[in-house]
Structure 1
Amino acid sequence: MTRPFIAVPAIRASKISALRFSGVVAADKICEAIYRAGGDPFLLPPGGEVAERLRYAHGAVVPGGADLDPATYGQPRDDRTEDTDPVQDAYDIAFVQALLGAGLPFLAICRGMQVLNVAQGGTLHQHLTETTVAHRRGMHRVTLESGCATALAMGGEDFAVSSYHHQALDRLGTDLRVVGRADDGCIEVVEHRYAPVLAVQWHPEDDADTAGHQQGLFDSVVAAADSRRRGDSPAGLADALRA
């Protein structure tokens, strides 16, 4: 079986067990979800010309991670913004811009969705006001717009999701539209008006091995990537899911 190659931007880590020096990592659960979907995940560490390094990729998953430096979206730093990595920030933004430029299908998760928004000129809330919704650590409800690509991928419009974030989208970037929110109004899902992109604020990889609706997000992106590999790429993920 020939699998589409799914790029994952690696996260820089100052310390990794069994290594004497710093390294780069990706979450096992993300790689496992990609493989279950029929894709072959490969890590691309920060560095080099991103668009050129993506030439072998058919799609991508942009994972969660640390806070983005507010300087990337033109804001002063809030005291509650946590440690940031300017090298990682610049790389992830360039990675997303390269994906959009190449028309590669991708899934953006948590920080990945925030990177997408910033890459498109949007801004973030640096710290969410506490509500009854367990954004920082827990499960909460998300409601999706009927007929959106994300709802098609997940097979429904109302789900409990595994959440871990304290920042969220504020002003939307160019060509992005909101298609899902939490009960407190927090933006949880955006899609690109033209590019084959799914973007969610929660962590679908947490329970994708037992929850088919979460695995469906990976399945849809890998299916679109496989269409691209075969030279039969549809205009967007919604088209791929309706095919």
Structure 2
Amino acid sequence: MGSNGSDGTAHPRPLIGLTAYGERAAYGVWDHDAVLLPRTYGDVVVAAGGVPVLLPPVPEAAAAVDRLDAVVLCGGPDVDPGRYGAAPHPRAGAPRPERDAAEAAVLRRALERDMPVLGVCRGAQLLNVELGGTLLQHVPDAVGHPGHNPSPGVFGTVAVELEPGSRVAAAVGPAVSVLCHHHQALDRVADGLVVTGRAGDGTVEAVELDGHPFVVGVQWHPEQDATDVRLMAALVHAAQVRAESTV
């Protein structure tokens, strides 16, 4: 499903980079270190009109950004608190320094190229940290309930109010019910990021980079709802607009 340029020719589907996990995994007869990502990410990118490209958590992955049209910083384990000058909370997960460094390099390259970026859950947190912000390391400490992360492997349903005129509101409307699985969240928001969505308890659920065509972070998991690809479609559209403008 390519878009049509001003000359009527069809442009190819944009290439959407998806940052992947580096984890120990068992499948078939194998049990070894693997690069992996929940299939839902790729499926939603395809449904939104893009072509998914997995980016492994290695420093060299940033070099691939030059050949992409947009980047998704995918969900995953906690960002190392050392990256924002904090000691780890007792409930913080084991750090993944290789992934943190690789995704930070991907993000920097994408921003340098004015490329559309969507940060999903951990990806929104990494965006905030790399721009100079900090994280709340255990959300229940602040809000008094586990609704954003009911239990391991179970998504919580959270109502989010969005700022009128924001990129996210333009994609999904002024209010949305979303699937969340995060025990951390943005605390001090980085300079340049604008909060455009909050849960009823005040938790930051969406941010956008001021002055950029499309750099968005959301705490929820849009890839978990295959019936609603509006946010991913907005990213794909931004990628198409950028591609057409650079021809």
Q: Identity rate of aligned residues, in percent?
A: 37
Q: Match of 2:32, SS?
A: coil
1:41 corresponds, among 31, 42, 52, to 52
CA RMSD of aligned residues (A): 1.6
1:3 matches 2:13? yes
1:54 matches 2:65? yes
1:182 corresponds, among 188, 199, 210, to 199
Amino acid at match of 1:145: E
Cα-to-partner distance string for 1:97-120 (whole Å, 9 max, x where unaligned) = 221111110211000000000010
CA contact 2:193–2:209 (8 Å) conserved in 1: yes
Q: Distance in 2 between matches of 1:145 and 1:132?
A: 24
Cα-to-partner distance string for 1:154-212 (whole Å, 9 max, x where unaligned) = 1x1111110101000001112101011000000000000022212100111111x223x
> Where do residues 135-146 of structure 1 align in structure 2 (5 Å cutoff)?
135-137=148-150, 138-146=156-164
> Where do residues 119-134 of structure 1 align in structure 2 (5 Å cutoff)?
119-128=130-139, 129=141, 130-132=143-145, 134=147
CA contact 1:6–1:59 (8 Å) conserved in 2: yes
Q: Distance in 1 between matches of 2:161 and 2:118?
A: 18
Q: Distance in 1 between matches of 2:59 and 2:146?
A: 40
CA contact 2:58–2:99 (8 Å) conserved in 1: no
Q: Distance in 1 between matches of 2:174 and 2:145?
A: 21
Shift of 1:124: 0.2
Q: Distance in 2 between matches of 1:89 and 1:51?
A: 12
CA contact 2:135–2:186 (8 Å) conserved in 1: yes
Shift of 1:146: 0.9
> TM-score w.r.t. structure 1 length?
0.89
Q: Distance in 1 between matches of 2:147 and 2:47?
A: 29
Shift of 1:133: 6.7
Q: Match of 1:22, SS?
A: strand
Q: Distance in 2 between matches of 1:210 and 1:50?
A: 31
Q: Which position in structure 1 is the counterpart of 2:9?
A: none
CA contact 1:105–1:224 (8 Å) conserved in 2: yes
Shift of 1:59: 0.5
Q: Match of 1:75, SS?
A: coil
Extract unaligned runs of 5+ from structure 2. Answer: 3-11, 151-155
Q: Distance in 2 between matches of 1:159 and 1:131?
A: 22
CA contact 2:59–2:102 (8 Å) conserved in 1: no
Shift of 1:52: 2.4
Comparing 12-21 with 76-85, which one deviates more in the overlay? 12-21
Distance 1:48 1:132, change over 3 A: closer
Q: Which position in structure 2 is the counterpart of 1:149?
A: 167
1:225 matches 2:239? yes
Q: Match of 2:71, SS?
A: strand
Shift of 1:125: 0.5
Shift of 1:14: 1.4
Q: Distance in 2 between matches of 1:141 and 1:48?
A: 37
Amino acid at match of 1:75: A
Q: Distance in 1 between matches of 2:164 and 2:107?
A: 26
CA contact 1:133–1:183 (8 Å) conserved in 2: no
Comparing 56-65 with 124-133, which one deviates more in the overlay? 124-133
Cα-to-partner distance string for 1:15-71 (whole Å, 9 max, x where unaligned) = 241344211012211111110111000111122444422111000111110011100
Shift of 1:96: 1.4
| Number of equivalences | 228
Amino acid at match of 2:171: A
Comparing 174-183 with 128-137, which one deviates more in the overlay? 128-137
Q: Distance in 1 between matches of 2:227 and 2:40?
A: 12
Comparing 7-16 with 56-65, which one deviates more in the overlay? 7-16
Q: Match of 2:112, SS?
A: helix
CA contact 1:133–1:184 (8 Å) conserved in 2: no
> TM-score w.r.t. structure 2 length?
0.87
> Where do residues 87-236 of structure 1 align in structure 2 (5 Å cutoff)?
87-128=98-139, 129=141, 130-132=143-145, 134-137=147-150, 138-154=156-172, 156-195=173-212, 196-207=214-225, 209-211=226-228, 215-231=229-245
